[in-house]
Amino acid sequence: MKGGSLQMIGKRIGGRYEIEQQIGEGGMAIVYRARDTLLNRTVALKVLRSQFGNDDDFVARFHREAQAAASLSHPNVVNIYDIGQEDDMYYIVMEYVEGMTLKKYINGHAPLDVKEAVDIAVQICDALDHAHQNELIHRDIKPHNILINKFGRIKVTDFGIARAVSSVTITHTGSVLGSVHYFSPEQAKGIAAGAKSDLYSLGVVLYEMLTGELPFSGDSPISVALKHLQETYVLPRKLRPEIPQSLENVIIRAMAKEPMYRYESAREMLEDLQTSLSPERRNEPVYLLPEKYGVEEDPEITRVIPAIKPEMMRKRNWDEEEAVPVKEPSEAAEKPAVREEAAVEETDTKPLPWKKAVGWVAGIFLFFMLVGAAVFYGFSFFRVPDVTVPSVQNMPLDEARQKLEALKLRPAIQEQYDEKVAPGRVIKQDPVPNMQVKENSEVRLIVSQGKPKTAMPNFVGQNIDDVESQLTGKYKDYHIEKETSEDQPAGTILRQTPTAGQEIVASDTEVTLVVSQGQEKATLPKLVGLTEEEAKLKLEQLGLRPQIDRKPSYEPEGTVIEQSYRPDNQLEKGTWVRITVSEGLPEEARRVKETVDVYLNPGEKASIEIKVTDATAQNKTVDSYTIKQSTQFQVPVVLSPSQDAIIQVYRDGQLYQEKQVKYSDFQ
């Protein structure tokens, strides 16, 4: 087969999958790393061995189950991308996982750290729960079919093949028995395996991770299979005492030889695993199965005994009835029979008087009447009445308790979180409604604690930009409030509601975060045009710090001509604001006075307004007068190389005179 494998390197399958390297080999298939040339990605190509391809029943079953496995979508399940056939070769195209098998990891690191082993088991259990909910059973859970990628994430593979193999005939026994160390007892018997078989196999995997050993081993696959059926295994804590009892209990329950004593579902096992290392379960007693189903026991230990269900009681009674031996008559029992026979013969030879015969008959009849009455009244006295179990599902616990106790049934309460059922209501019951049980029987009630609660994370001190992505979609809603802070930079979370560590139901919780917007801010006013003193006073009143620059300007000396921040800017208190103050005219400027004459007729009166456009301003009014006689005005103007001056005189609102003063005239 090695030669055939080498011939596959470089070959293109299905017109798009180019084989690069062989990366694995099993009893049923060879696995290659390949390049999907169409999507330009690396994939794992699993090619079935020829003996499986020749079995039409297997191929048809394989196609159905591979398609079912392809419907799974879960982060802990290897994705199946494609299935196909080329000539007489059948193949599956799967997600390529860069890493190693759990078997290889166990061989190199076992026994694993307890927390690490539980984390791996939780991920496998989560994958099985998803598959079982989609009505797909794996049937071949073992470390060889579990991959660990380079980030430590678990990926369960071979869902389709595992189920297809369950239909393989005895001619392929060698392939099927390759997983016998992880078989459930029902698989060892050769009967149909269900979801609980996967949980048994997972229990074996967890046992191996924690101890570095398998619970059963032998010289041949048959001997190992028989041990799964008949023998006990050494408890993990005897091999490794630091394993918590609560975690050992998970293995005991998962590896019960009788499926009815195992977990009801992968979800139930998952929830038990998730709490197995919690402090409150540290002193948990040993979980003891109702009968001896697979563990070596210490008679002195404290045990937890699960509730006996009615169907278990019926099975046990039936077994006991079948087990009652029929005793052979002893010699002592035979002798009275001989004597009785002799007495009969003697009676035959010597007849009794008729009165004595009547007495004997009456006595015998009375004896049987008394015995019958005793039996009837005895059974009536000791017989426990039957009760029909009522339906209490979805009832409030108090109401369900009253209903059961009214029928002389004993409620046993077990609480668990539930996303859908309101707190304090019954999720399910065991026995189920309408079942006949004896009075004083126990009815187990699974009661909702409501949605699972988690501790509120601590966001205080983090930046809101880093946290906001964690809030979206996880909580019912979140609100951000802002306030100033003298100590914390803008964007820092100052307070939160709910507080860190508070137990919450995330999907029902509204989160409020108070975020720093930095120090208190001031709105900068317009400073240009104010005097230096006016500007400094305004800045100091707002908690801002003035920085003074000076330069020549055509504005009056001491006037603010520039500011470093635009008006209406929000500035934190203590910010330096630079203002530029005019220190007088530049050297090239010329300040001159020009004479303007206004003439009036005798007795005439006029309103005079003088406007100037020069280097300092445009069209500014320099003075207004009311005159009653001709008057001469001295008008000051400022000239620059780029700006001459224009003087305009208005008389009673009408332009009376306009005069231009040129810079060049004063050079």
Residue 351 sits at φ, ψ, to 5 deg, of -65, 140
CA nearest to 511, candidates 543, 468, 548: 468
Q: Which residues are annotated as a binding site?
A: 46
Which pair of tokens denotes residue 33?
């790393």
Q: How far apart are CA 133 and CA 272, in angstroms?
A: 18
276-286 burial string, b = 16+ CB within 10 Å, else e? beeeeeeebeb
Q: How far apart are CA 159 and CA 55, in angstroms?
A: 19
Query: What is the edge-to-edge ordering of all strands in the sheet holding 442-448?
Result: 410-416, 442-448, 426-430
Q: Is 126 a catalytic residue?
A: no
CA nearest to 187, candidates 174, 172, 203, 176: 176
Which pair of tokens denotes residue 139?
């049937």
- Please give the distance of CA 514 from its chain centroid, rounded to a whole number: 27
Which residue type is seen at 87?
A: D
**How many CA atoms are closer than 13 Å to the CA of 613, on its beta-carbon side?**
10
The burial class, CB within 10 Å (0-12 / 13-18 / 19+), for 510 is: exposed
Q: How far apart are CA 20 and CA 161, in angstroms?
A: 23
Helix (H), strand (E) at residue 118? helix 114-133
Q: Strand 17-25 relative to strand 29-36: parallel, antiparallel, unpaired?
A: antiparallel
Which pair of tokens denotes residue 666?
């004063």
Q: Which entry of 129, 140, 158, 418 is annotated as an active-site residue?
A: 140
Q: What is the CA radius of gyration of the chain?
A: 49
Residue pair 443/401 in contact (Cβ under 8 Å)? The answer is: no
- Using the structure block, give the residue that is written with the tokens 């003697």: 346
Residue pair 141/182 in contact (Cβ under 8 Å)? The answer is: yes
**Which residues is 31 bridged to in the sheet?**
24, 46
Residue pair 569/523 in contact (Cβ under 8 Å)? The answer is: yes
Q: How far apart are CA 156 and CA 138, in angstroms?
A: 9
Kindly list the distances between the CA atom of residue 581 and the CA atoms of 534, 548, 578, 663, in Å, as whole numbers in the listed order. 12, 7, 10, 25
**Which residues is 248 bridged to in the sheet?**
none
Q: How far apart are CA 159 and CA 109, in angstroms?
A: 26
Q: How far apart are CA 52 and CA 62, in angstroms?
A: 10
Which pair of tokens denotes residue 113?
């750290």
At 456 the three-state DSSP class reads: coil
Q: Which residues are annotated as a binding site for ATP?
A: 46
Active site residues: 140
